[in-house]
Structure 1
Amino acid sequence: MADNVPALAVTGATGALGGAVARMLAEAGVRQRLLARHTARLPELPNTPVFAASYLDRPQAVSALRGVHTLFMVSAAESPHRVEDHCTFVDAAVDAGVQHIVYTSFMGAAPDAVFTLARDHAATEEYIASSQGLEHTFLRDCLYQDVLPTFVQPDGVMRGPAGEGSFAPVARRDVARTAVKILLSPEQHRNRAYTLTGPAELSMEEVAGILSRATGTPVRYQAETYDEAVASRMKSGAARWQAEAWASSYQAIAAGQLAPASPDIERLTGIAPLGFEDYLQQTRN
């Protein structure tokens, strides 16, 4: 086991990103503890204790975090009260004596970001940075390559108000291995923010073309107005806040807020991130 790494806790390990980070840390022989609301859904890893902890339950989270130096905090599921839940958990971390939070934020996080959920991330970043005694590292991820195939509707069309803008989507596994690199030596990344993207900027038309080649099924992009995008997603059953968030993610592409591609992943890890076509090829093999 790697004994020279400060005591680690990982949240979100029932999900794709947190689970990948937990597995990579285990493979590196790093001691960690996994926190989740539903511990039965956590991956079974050798010598890895699990603790029940909810972002909403401050006393429970304090108990789960006692003795932890560095916390990998995966952002909570999208909801209208996500910032409040994040702040409750950050308060618990401070109460428990956590020294350093590595938080999964979003590219271009700012109070006035076009993408409404990036505003939530900015508020969380500000709260973490202003919490006494806490050091931080913010991982500002672009949209995940992993989810782009789900943007294709049953008729083979991707619709949204992205205009002719471009963005630099990143493979979740590249975010995970970058996070692990930071968690292994958090003191080198104190109070830093990194933008994690893929290697290239793509328009939605280019994404559609790559998906067409990779799947052998025609995919095309069709521009929508913001109002059309919100209406179509609400018709599918989304709440208004969620429909507005999804539509605004496309608007952020149109506004250029999810570009340019960043060198941070390669600079931090020494390995270039996957391009979207390479990612699709690897997932098919």
Structure 2
Amino acid sequence: MTIVVTGATGRLGGRVAARLARPQRLLVRDAARAPRIAGASVAVADYSDSAAVRAGLAGADVVLMVSAAENPDRIAQHRAFVDAAAAAGIGHLVYTSFMGARPDATFTLARDHWATEEHIRGAGLPHTFLRDNLYADFVPALAGTDGVIRGPGGDGRVAVVAQDDIADAIVAVLRDPAPHAGQTYDLTGPQAHSFAELAAAIGARYHAETVEEAYASRAVYGAPQWQVDAWVSTYTAVAAGELDTVDPALERLTGRPATSLAEVLRQRP
């Protein structure tokens, strides 16, 4: 079975590539940055380069499509990749989506994932969607240099999930995709936490902002509006209760319990 892994130069795709104990093809934008993995070949393509994507996916039985970096053109990039995958005649597409993906999701970037899922369905590709919750690994980055997590998350809760757990779930699907065709899995941690609890876990504190305060406190970065909307809506999605579900799918896929936030933080350098 020919497996193609995209995003192998990143945190998630790199984890998946390192775990696959069989020949695989890494589809990357920069061959010089591709991880050195025994038995792995390397193909080069940007998601928007349809001809290069088709060549890189030729003969693929199953493809991991790691979502592209956040940018205003991400939906167009995803659609171009999916169309090229369909033209290449791949057997199965595994897409890393986001929990609660829908057209009216509070988290603005979850809407991108919904649009991508719909395009994959429309392309007629056998597929599996893995909808990740927020990454537990990134919790320490939520705090500012003053040791405060600020955002309009209220008392909402979020079932943060370990990237290593997600990688294990992806590998399970890639190795035997047929039973997972047409399935959508929510990948979460074993417990939902409030922002106050997340802050306490990293020795910080939480300051609950209003939405107006959140936009004002982030204006200093000079980021484009779409990005600020994404930052703020990460918190408002939690406040709205859209990320608090604890789902058993990860344990069913990996055969072991999901990793707790405390354990993820303990394992960090």
TM-score category, normalised to shorter length = over 0.9
In the alignment, structure 1 residue 281 sits paired with structure 2 residue 266:
yes
1:259 deviation in Å?
1.4
2:37 counterpart of 1:52: no
The equivalent residue for 1:262 is: 247
| 2:209 aligned with 1:224 | yes
Count residues in correspondence: 269
Moved more, 135-144 or 234-243: 234-243
In the alignment, structure 1 residue 10 sits paired with structure 2 residue 5: yes
Please state if 1:162 is matched with 2:153.
yes
SS in 2 for 1:121: helix
Match of 1:98 in 2: 90
Matching residue of 1:153? 144
Cα distance in structure 1, aligned partners of 2:34 and 2:216: 37
**Matched residue, 2:201:** 210
Q: Please give the alpha-carbon distance, in whole angstroms, between the structure 2 residues aligned to 1:273 and 1:104.
A: 18
1:20 aligned partner, one-letter code: R
Partner SS for 1:139: strand
Counterpart of 1:126?
118
Report how far residue 225 of structure 1 moved.
Answer: 1.5
Matched position secondary structure for 1:195: strand
SS of residue matched to 1:256: coil
| Structure 1: stretches of 5+ with no match in the other structure | 1-5, 213-218
Give the CA RMSD over aligned residues: 0.8
Distance in 2 separating the partners of 1:207 and 1:201: 10
Residue 169 of structure 2 aligns with an amino acid whose one-letter code is: T
Number of the residue aligned with 1:246: 231
CA contact (8 A) 1:230 1:240 kept: no
Counterpart in 1 of 2:17? 22
Structure 2: how far apart are the matches of 1:152 and 1:259? 20
Query: Match of 2:40, SS?
Result: coil
Cα distance in 1 for residues equivalent to 2:222 and 2:65: 30
Q: Aligned partners of 1:257 and 1:190: how far apart in 2?
A: 25
Give the distance between the partners of 2:216 and 2:69, measured in 1 at CA.
22
After superposition, residues 190-201 of structure 1 pair within 5 angstroms as 190-201=181-192
Aligned partners of 2:209, 2:48: CA distance in 1, in Å? Answer: 37
Amino acid aligned to 2:194: S
Task: Report matched runs for 1:72-83 at 5 Å.
Answer: 72-83=64-75
Normalising by structure 1, we get a TM-score of 0.93
Give per-residue Cα distances to partners, 1:92-137, cap 9 Å, x unaligned: 10111112110000000000100000000000001001113x1010
Equivalent-residue separation in structure 2 for 1:80 and 1:32 (angstroms): 31
Helix, strand or coil for the counterpart of 2:268?
helix
Is 1:180 paired with 2:171? yes
Amino acid at match of 1:236: Y
Report the secondary structure of 1:72's partner residue.
strand
- Deviations along 1:120-166, one digit per CA (max 9) or x if unpaired, are 0000001001113x101000000001111111101110000100000
- Equivalent position to 1:111, from 103, 110, 113: 103
Aligned to 1:234: 219
| Shift, 1:231, TM fit | 2.6
- Give the drift of 1:232: 2.1
> What is the rounded CA distance, in whole Å, between the counterparts of 1:92 and 1:246 in structure 2?
31
Match of 1:43 among 29, 35, 46: 35
- Classify the secondary structure of the residue corresponding to 1:49: strand
Deviation at 1:56, TM superposition (A): 1.0
Could you say what secondary structure the match of 2:213 adopts? helix
Q: Which runs of 5+ in 2 are unaligned?
A: none
